[in-house]
Chains A and B, each alone.
Chain A
Amino acid sequence: MAETVPTENLQPPRRHILGMEGVPKEEIESLLDLSESYIEQNRQDDKKSSILRGRTLINVFFENSTRTRTSFELAGKRLGADVINMSVSSSAIKKGETLIDTAMTLNAMHPDVLTVRHGDSGAVQLLSEKVTCSVLNAGDGSHEHPTQALLDALTIRRRKHSLEGLTVAICGDITHSRVARSNIYLLNTMGAHVRLVAPKTLLPAAIDKFGVEIHHRMEDGICDADIIMMLRLQTERMQGSYVPSTREYFRFFGLDRKKLAVAKPDALIMHPGPMNRGIEIDSELADDIHRSVIHEQVEMGVAVRMACLDIVTRNLSRNTNGSGA
């Protein structure tokens, strides 16, 4: 089934997926098309295929994560790969081994794909420069989280048929959000209209140069929006440093029914999770199956990651064959 999806748009074949900045529309489209085929596979009783049989996937997480790691793990296993999870606590790093040492060590074990999450912006790219396998960025600092943007796009596309011309409001902590950055790049590439809604403390410098519309009032920002993406506000940023309090944040920037009323009647609510109920999003609204697609996003996440694994390993084979010829 997957073999029928055209991949000739992926030129030159991409060995790594590190970010959405600069990724052309055709490539995103074909990744989303491929993901569609995996949604069906994941809904069968027998969810397993053998496309990645014999391949080794290592999930290297320098930062805690449950859902993203599980999603990559399932994606790998459903494609038949051997999957290893490695949590590298920051304390172990402080004991001396540098990121590059870790990269070289892992590389020596001949994995085919590393999915890497790291708390520092740029760390995944640095690691990718030192290994011979493929690297998927599972989130680096405040930089990028490309598979999140892809799964968001897939979710939207399935509900709205196309991203082109949609108005998408991204609300919350833009400054520290890799999800926001990846989504801004992807959505702009796909022809959506992107709005950002946040207090000025949570908007990074020069963000107006990223092809977005900036709003500081939630009611303006989500007015007539098709999609409302809420971002998670990190606990350490809630109490007085970036915003005075959680209740003040919810009052002005949390999504509730009253504010939602100005959006389009069929506007979808999205959240990358994990949610802070009652801080950025009203709890009942998050559970409203007519508006919230939060669980669908999680489902799409597995399919998108299967597509990413599929593509980069196809490119690996192509490169290997090329060099062997």
Chain B
Amino acid sequence: MTGRTAYINARLIDPASGTDAPGGVLIEGNKILNWGPGLFNGGAPEDARIVDCQEYCLAPGLIDMRVHLPEPGGEHKESFESASAAAAAGGVTSIVCLPDADTPIDNISVLEFIARRARETNIVKIYAYGTITRNREGGELSEFGILSEAGALAFTDGDRALADALVMRRALSYAATFDLLIVQHPEEPRLARNGQMNEGEMATRLGLAGIPACAEVMMIERDLRLVELTGARYHAAHVSTAAAIDAIRQAKSRGLPVTCDTAPHYFTLNDSSVMDYRTFTKVSPPLRDEADRLAVIEGVRDGTIDVIASDHRPQDQDSKRLPFLQAETGIVGLETLLPLTLALHHDENIPLIDLVGRMTSAPARLLGMKEGRLEAGRPADFTIFDPDRKWTVRADMLQSKSKNTPFDDHPVKGMAMCTVVGGRHVHSLID
């Protein structure tokens, strides 16, 4: 054997090159050797192992750019192993860890810890952000240069908004020095203070303090002024409101280096799902109203929303089986990212290649990753999926240690059939 594998009989979907055609991929070791429509028309190389893709889609491996991985300290909620298994099952080949309260990634040792645990686990690729400010306190800047050399792909304070305009200005200016990306949790924290869910009729009915939708856009509008001032690359995380998407759409049309992402729950659910105090629907930012949900879909359709990421945030029973006010925020999303996103193809007629791009080439481009496209010499990371396979999400069947999904019993369409990371099959239903 030469260590070559031929993936034949696939529907190739490579958003970076605009390819959606029958074809195949030849890999050697952990790299792509050749690929393309009609690649094996003359037959696959005789010395290669053959994997028949059965006409399923073969796309670059999904990159989930927003994952909370609560190690160290929160292993009972999720470990590197369980998160990796969840990713593999969901067709995700690379995850990017967010800093949070347990793990403020503000020094090299934390990045090295993540890199070591990723090597030990060795299932999917695990990357990380660095924090914008030390201990995510919103005051002093982290060492962007050193952290970036140590592997931090971009900088964010996770689910904490950088509220101080002067600190944000300096963070953007300093990041621009190294051409680094700043990722903001766009929510005006003083306006959102004590808020438990989206402000509106449901919040009033439930007697829960609301967060007005404008808390999102006002932070983005402020930041856009600072982007104009500094020229830095800026990314608004998990946008959820029509107003925020409009603001970003306009900024893009003015040529500002601005991008954003959203998570599947923001285009799948609205705030009526919170009814009966379902704490599995408690997320930050909160689920918005129906008009906002529809605006998120339009943002994905027209490209204003560059990336779809799961915002995977595992929480155990003890963090969720509480009165709504006391419950933690978060939804596990690694295993539902692909099918919930594909619903936008099935139900909303968004082209498949566009949706795949939001989870592959787009995050790779923003974060400067070598993954995310099919090309000779690139890592042999891909996801083979059946876009039409029907199944039902079962919380207790999830690979994640935590089962906090509001999509239990939710019928979906689209399944990862084989997840290939560096040439290894880390999940497979086809061979």
Contact = CB atoms under 8 A, between A and B. Distances in A.
A141 B207 contact: yes
Given A98-B318, A205-B199, A205-B210, A122 B323 contact: yes
A98 B317 CA distance: 12
Given A98-B318, A122-B324, A142 B207 contact: yes
A181 B201 contact: no
B204 interface: yes
A125 interface: yes
Interface string A188-218: 0000000000000000111101100000000
Contact of A121 (B200, B318, B322, B325): B325
Q: Is the interface of B mostly helix, strand, loop or mixed?
A: loop
A209 B201 contact: yes
A120 B276 CA distance: 13
A121 B201 contact: no
Given A98-B322, A120-B326, A144 B204 contact: no
Interface in B318-368: 318, 321-326
A125 B201 contact: no
B206 interface: yes
B208 interface: yes
Interface in A133-182: 140-144, 178, 181
A121 B323 contact: yes
Contact of A205 (B200, B277, B318, B321): B200
Contact of A204 (B204, B318, B321): B204
A178 B201 contact: no
A99 interface: yes
Contacts of B324: 120-122
Contact of B206 (A98, A121, A207, A210): A121
A143 B207 contact: yes
A305 interface: no
A118 interface: yes
B38 to A, nearest CB: 58
B204 A120 contact: no
Contact of A144 (B207, B321, B326): B207
Given A98-B318, A122-B277, A126-B277, A205 B325 contact: no
A255 to B, nearest CB: 24
Contact of A123 (B201, B203, B323): B323
A142 B323 CA distance: 13
Contacts of A142: 207-209
B205 interface: yes
Given A120-B323, A123-B323, A206 B207 contact: no
A21 interface: yes
Given A140-B207, A204-B203, A209-B201, A121 B321 contact: no
B322 A99 contact: yes
B200 to A, nearest CB: 5
Contacts of B325: 120-121, 141
B277 A178 contact: no
Interface in A98-141: 98-100, 118, 120-123, 125-126, 140-141
Interface string A299-323: 0000000000000000000000000
A59 B413 CA distance: 49
Nearest to A204: B204
Interface in B262-313: 276-277
A126 B199 CA distance: 22
Contacts of B318: 98
Given A98-B318, A99-B323, A121 B277 contact: yes
B204 A122 contact: no
A118 B321 CA distance: 16
A100 B200 contact: no
B199 A122 contact: no
B201 A143 contact: no
Best-surrounded residue of B199, B205, B209, B276 (most CB of chain A within 10 A): B205
Given A100-B321, A120-B326, A125 B276 contact: yes
Contacts of A204: 203-204, 210
A-B pairs, top 8 by smallest CB distance, nearest first, are A143-B207, A142-B207, A122-B277, A120-B323, A121-B207, A206-B201, A123-B323, A204-B204
Given A121-B208, A121-B277, 14 more contacts: A98-B318, A99-B323, A120-B324, A120-B325, A121-B207, A121-B324, A122-B206, A122-B324, A123-B323, A141-B325, A143-B207, A205-B200, A205-B210, A206-B204
Interface of A: 21, 98-100, 118, 120-123, 125-126, 140-144, 178, 181, 204-207, 209-210
26 contacts: A98-B322, A100-B321, A120-B323, A121-B206, A121-B208, A121-B277, A121-B324, A122-B206, A122-B208, A122-B277, A122-B324, A123-B323, A126-B322, A126-B323, A141-B208, A141-B325, A142-B208, A143-B207, A178-B207, A204-B204, A205-B199, A205-B203, A205-B210, A205-B212, A206-B204, A210-B204
